[in-house]
Structure 1
Amino acid sequence: MRIERHQVDEERVARAREDFVDRIGRQVHSYSRAGLMTTTEWQLIADSFLDYLGALSTTRPDLGCAEARAVLKDAAEAAVGAVSFAAYYPHDGFHVFLDYPNFGMSYAREDGQDRDPHHLVTAREWLDAFCLAIVADTVSAHGEAFCWARQLMPDEPVTPTLELVDGFAAHFFEEAELPGADAGAEPQPGLRALRALTVGDREAFDAALLALLQEGPHGTGPRSLLPLVPIALAALAYRTHGWTAAVDTDYLPRALVTGFETPGPRVRALGRDPRPDAVARLAAGPVDVERPGPLRPPTPDDEAWFERRTREVLTPKEGEPLDAWDLTAALGYQTHLLAARASASADATDALLGNLRLGSRLGAAAFRVALAEPGTEAEVTVDGRTLRLPACRDRAFGPALWETALSYALVTGSAEDLEPLVAAGPTIATEDPSPFAPYRTALHDHLRGADPLPATERALEQVERTRDKGFPPPPVVLFSQLLRGDETSFNLALLDALEAHRDHHSVADRAAEPGAALNLGILALACHARRSRGWAVRVRSPYLPARLLEAAGRA
């Protein structure tokens, strides 16, 4: 059966889409400057995200794109932020963070204050937030807030909405009988759907979901195109039982129901087999991965500025000694210039090759200085010049700098530049408290001939814990396939890694970020696989400049 969506106001759809990146940024920062952000502000922000998501669905009904995924995540986070405020403030602290506008708000405990009854949530607000949390798969992370907010909810007459609130709470938290069990009349469709899910009755579930959809959403705004209760129930059915909705309708966007499951090549790590359809896709020929736009190539003035700053920090004024901080600053300038130049061409230009060689030398030089005995000097060669620098081993030589320097050395293939990095390791100067620590340890173990599998397992677990945290994870799965020694699986993981990088930079205005045009860590592993194992790279992309891969294959 097919159910068509209702008509919405086209002007409101256009307004919801127009300049959303800047508009949502202005909205959240305006609220933060106006005073305490309460349930009201977080609900308004959630509404803005939902309007935009509904507007996106008018041209992409399945919502299967990176932009929609990011918007859903923050719509859920903002809606749950309202619930958390009602549940916790002022008696406990909590935090709300929106990745899309890169905005966060922390709330501390405020002793001596009473809870404001105007800042509690209604049944409708609770239910909408809970449905969004189901679809975004964050119920377990916020279960306590939902339970507290329900207990504090203002007294209301029993309504179908309140019944659904208690129905979802019972289904997820209480393992109790769903409300309405003793009523003489047949329960409402939402409760019938929950009961069918509980007992595994697919026929009853399909009938209840159809009844819900036939009741019809209301409103002319774009968010009315996304009825949250049916979407949440369909998502529960699919993710719990594998049931797909019997009704055909754009009211149930496939991506929201399946959790943005895609039929593409997703590689499982460390010894598990990839999907056969993904293998066939690569076997048919090179797979293309394009970059999102618009990228921002450097102007001649930009290039001249970065080159000048690099020369200046490596050429101190008379009487002023050069120190290791200068090396790290120069590496930073070259990395910015590398990213900018990568935006200008799909392949490596001579200028970009010069960037890579200089960056590789600078990274190696920095860690030669870190390896030197305290109180001595290290002699390094950079850009044809021999420099003497006092030994230094402080936070300037942290794990992130080590990873960057290592990536340069793996891309260029310079054994001379790789040597001090392997000798130093990522924590020569300071411990690594970041989520990237296990990955860096695994890389180091691999290159120094130790067993990298324990650290790789920890890195894979860390990636799962930090998934969708707003920053791209390291290419751990790609690295795990290198260790596995399977060329096909490596290419599948390479395709996954590049598509994940592309999707991250397809959201909001991230295509303009410096790292959008080139992921140095992924490129480094591709070059390392070509050079150390002789593997063919069957992914064709501006992210993988052909000139660099060809050079690695000749080594």
Structure 2
Amino acid sequence: MRIERHQVDGARVAEAREDFVNRIGRQVHSYSRAGLMTTTEWQMISDSFLDYLGALSTTRPDLHCAEARAVLRDAAAAAAGAVSFAAYYPVDSFHVFLDYPNFGMSYDRERGRERDPHHRVTAGEWLDAFCLAIVCDQVSVHGEAFGWARQLMPGGPATPTLELVDGLLAYFFEDDGVPDGSTAPVADLQPGLRVLRALAAGDREAFDAALLALLRDEPQGTGPASLLPLVPIALAALAYRTHGWTPSVDTDYLPHALITGFETAGPRVRAFGRDPRPDALAALAAGPVHVGRTGPALPCSPENEARLERLTLEAVTAGEGRPLNARDLTGALRYQTYLLAARASECDDATDAVIATLRRGSQLGAAVFRAALAEPGTETEATIDGRALRFPARRDRDFGPALWQTALSFALITGSREDLEPLVLAGPTIAAEDRSPSASYRTALHDHLRGADPLPATERALKEAERIREGWLPAPAVLLSQLIGGDATGFDLALLDALEAHRDHHSVADRGTEPGAPLSLDVLALACHARRTRGWVTRVRSPYLPPRLLQAAGRT
């Protein structure tokens, strides 16, 4: 059976979509500056995300896209923030973080203060937040907050919403998993409880009938969020993830991505070539696989380009009475990454300007770490743009692991052994300890390049990558594992996964305008290194892998 969605106000849909990235950023920062963010503010933020998600569904009803996933996740996080404030503040500490606007708020325990009854959540707000938690698989994370918030709700006669609230709590947190009202006649249960009881009983036929009735009973609003009825979506998601039941009713009210948890076939390959997906192997065997690049071109204005080039030249030009300083080169290397992003974004292959930028960045990075390796009181030599230069020895905290990784990527892409040598000798922690989630990846890559056993660090890097929460892009540890393992096919499959992860990450919010969006330096570096050292010709085609750079790697 097909159920069509109701019509909503087109003006409100357009308003929800218009400049959402900047608008949600202004909203959360405005609330944070205005004073204490309470249940009210977090609920309004969640409502804004849900309106935008509903607006997205008007053109993409299945919501299978990275933008929708990020928006849903933050709608759930903000709604859980409202529940957490009601449950904990000011008697316990908690934290709320939104990936989309990159905004977080921490709340500390305030001794001697009592909860404000005005900051409780209503049964409807609790229910919406819990449904979002179901869809995002976050019930166990926020379970305690939901339990406390329910206990703090004002007393009074039972309502259909409260009955479903208690039924969900029983289903998730009581030993028998039986929702309240399970012994009452079906006709006497509120619609959501009928669905939940059928789900608890494993009765597929009753579940389908009850879910259909629930959808027909849903109120029809005029705002875009009303296109996404949270209770039916959550219950359908619960059925799919518990029993594998797909909704029998055909309707855009139940977006496939939300029901399945944005289910995909999973990674094409796992560490060291284990468990490659047969469909991925077949696609790769059939011919080149293309990964497109999303996001706008990021052209650099002639004025800004000239400014960055001038600043780079100043970094390698000694002033009167002032020697060259290796620390100035770190800024020059950053300028090259900006120029590289701008130049690479305008073409699917590497232009002469891109190649010149890569070469200069490689030389700058090598010069920094030559200065770090030099004995104090001595000088080191470096050649940049054909000019032989001398720098006093220096080891600065700015020469840290992240800069080392950037410099190494430039060197691996260009293939300059002269530039690679000081980086391998120095290692990522020559100037500063590495406490980042990429620490083991850097160690593994360094071990591989210097001929040490990279497997222990690679195993740690793989575990670290798995722990990276959504919204953050981990280092390509699986790709490195295929290179280390000598598996060319596994490398291609991991390359596809890494490039798609990079593309999806930068298709959310305004991340497409970040300097790292047009190219993944880490992935491109490993691809060039694999071509250069192992002779692998990848069957992956993408603007993220400029053919001219890979061809050059094959000739060295």
Q: Classify the TM-score, shorter chain.
A: over 0.9
One-letter identity of the residue aligned with 1:514: P
Between 456-465 and 357-366, the greater mean CA deviation after superposition: 456-465
Secondary structure class of the residue paired with 1:194: helix
Distance of 1:303 and 1:169 partners within structure 2: 59
Distance of 2:272 and 2:150 partners within structure 1: 43
> What does residue range 493-532 of structure 1 map to in structure 2 within 5 Å?
493-532=494-533
Q: Which residue of 1 aligns with 2:78?
A: 78
1:171 aligns with 2:184: no
Distance of 2:543 and 2:304 partners within structure 1: 22
Q: Which residue of 1 aligns with 2:283?
A: 281
Q: Is the 8 A contact 2:273 2:490 kept in 1?
A: no
Shift of 1:548: 0.1
Distance of 1:199 and 1:395 partners within structure 2: 61
Distance of 1:550 and 1:193 partners within structure 2: 59
Distance of 2:536 and 2:432 partners within structure 1: 35
Between 447-456 and 45-54, the greater mean CA deviation after superposition: 447-456
Q: Which residue of 2 aligns with 1:26?
A: 26
One-letter identity of the residue aligned with 2:152: L
Distance of 2:229 and 2:469 partners within structure 1: 27
Distance of 2:45 and 2:445 partners within structure 1: 41
Q: Is the 8 A contact 1:298 1:344 kept in 2?
A: no
Q: CA 1:173–1:395 in structure 2 vs 1: closer, same or farther (change >3 Å)? A: farther
Q: CA 1:483–1:160 in structure 2 vs 1: closer, same or farther (change >3 Å)? A: farther
Secondary structure class of the residue paired with 2:270: coil
Distance of 1:536 and 1:157 partners within structure 2: 70
Deviations 1:129-187 (A, max 9, x none): 11111112222222222222122222242122112212222222332442113435553
Distance of 1:442 and 1:141 partners within structure 2: 32
Q: Is the 8 A contact 2:272 2:490 kept in 1?
A: no
1:135 aligns with 2:123: no
> 5+ unaligned residues in a row in structure 2: which ranges?
none
Secondary structure class of the residue paired with 1:516: coil
> What does residue range 110-121 of structure 1 map to in structure 2 within 5 Å?
110-121=110-121
Distance of 1:278 and 1:164 partners within structure 2: 43
Q: Is the 8 A contact 1:265 1:278 kept in 2?
A: no
Between 326-335 and 255-264, the greater mean CA deviation after superposition: 255-264
Q: Which residue of 2 aligns with 1:430?
A: 432
> What does residue range 230-249 of structure 1 map to in structure 2 within 5 Å?
230-249=232-251
Q: CA 1:462–1:194 in structure 2 vs 1: closer, same or farther (change >3 Å)? A: farther
Q: Which residue of 2 aligns with 1:61?
A: 61
One-letter identity of the residue aligned with 2:553: A
Distance of 2:80 and 2:473 partners within structure 1: 24
Shift of 1:40: 0.6
Q: Is the 8 A contact 1:478 1:494 kept in 2?
A: yes
1:472 aligns with 2:473: yes
1:228 aligns with 2:230: yes
Q: Is the 8 A contact 1:265 1:277 kept in 2?
A: no
Secondary structure class of the residue paired with 1:244: coil
Distance of 1:33 and 1:421 partners within structure 2: 44
Secondary structure class of the residue paired with 1:351: helix
Distance of 1:253 and 1:547 partners within structure 2: 42
Of the three residues 249, 258, 261, the one matched with 1:259 is 261
Between 50-59 and 98-107, the greater mean CA deviation after superposition: 98-107
Shift of 1:369: 1.6
Q: CA 1:461–1:239 in structure 2 vs 1: closer, same or farther (change >3 Å)? A: farther
Q: Is the 8 A contact 1:264 1:278 kept in 2?
A: no
> 5+ unaligned residues in a row in structure 1: which ranges?
none
Q: Which residue of 2 aligns with 1:485?
A: 486
Deviations 1:298-343 (A, max 9, x none): 1222221111000101113111222221121211111111111111
Shift of 1:199: 4.6
> What does residue range 19-418 of structure 1 map to in structure 2 within 5 Å?
19-176=19-176, 177-184=178-185, 186=187, 187-263=189-265, 266-418=268-420
Q: Which residue of 2 aligns with 1:553?
A: 554
Shift of 1:524: 0.5
Distance of 2:241 and 2:196 partners within structure 1: 14
Deviations 1:175-229 (A, max 9, x none): 2442113435553343343344445443333333223223234312111111111
Distance of 1:206 and 1:335 partners within structure 2: 55
Distance of 2:435 and 2:199 partners within structure 1: 42
Q: CA 1:375–1:155 in structure 2 vs 1: closer, same or farther (change >3 Å)? A: farther
Q: Which residue of 2 aligns with 1:439?
A: 441
**Aligned-pair RMSD on alpha carbons?**
1.9
Shift of 1:263: 4.6
Q: CA 1:215–1:407 in structure 2 vs 1: closer, same or farther (change >3 Å)? A: same
Distance of 1:528 and 1:262 partners within structure 2: 30
Deviations 1:351-371 (A, max 9, x none): 111111111111112112222
1:17 aligns with 2:17: yes
Q: CA 1:199–1:414 in structure 2 vs 1: closer, same or farther (change >3 Å)? A: farther
Q: CA 1:347–1:88 in structure 2 vs 1: closer, same or farther (change >3 Å)? A: same
Q: Is the 8 A contact 2:289 2:539 kept in 1?
A: yes
Secondary structure class of the residue paired with 1:381: strand
Distance of 2:163 and 2:483 partners within structure 1: 53
Q: Is the 8 A contact 2:380 2:393 kept in 1?
A: yes
Q: CA 1:479–1:204 in structure 2 vs 1: closer, same or farther (change >3 Å)? A: farther
Q: Is the 8 A contact 1:167 1:179 kept in 2?
A: yes
Q: CA 1:338–1:3 in structure 2 vs 1: closer, same or farther (change >3 Å)? A: same
Between 273-282 and 493-502, the greater mean CA deviation after superposition: 273-282
Secondary structure class of the residue paired with 1:395: coil
Distance of 1:472 and 1:462 partners within structure 2: 12
Shift of 1:47: 0.7
Q: CA 1:272–1:73 in structure 2 vs 1: closer, same or farther (change >3 Å)? A: same
Distance of 1:170 and 1:321 partners within structure 2: 73
Q: Is the 8 A contact 1:297 1:343 kept in 2?
A: yes
Secondary structure class of the residue paired with 2:83: helix
Distance of 1:529 and 1:380 partners within structure 2: 27
Distance of 1:453 and 1:259 partners within structure 2: 33
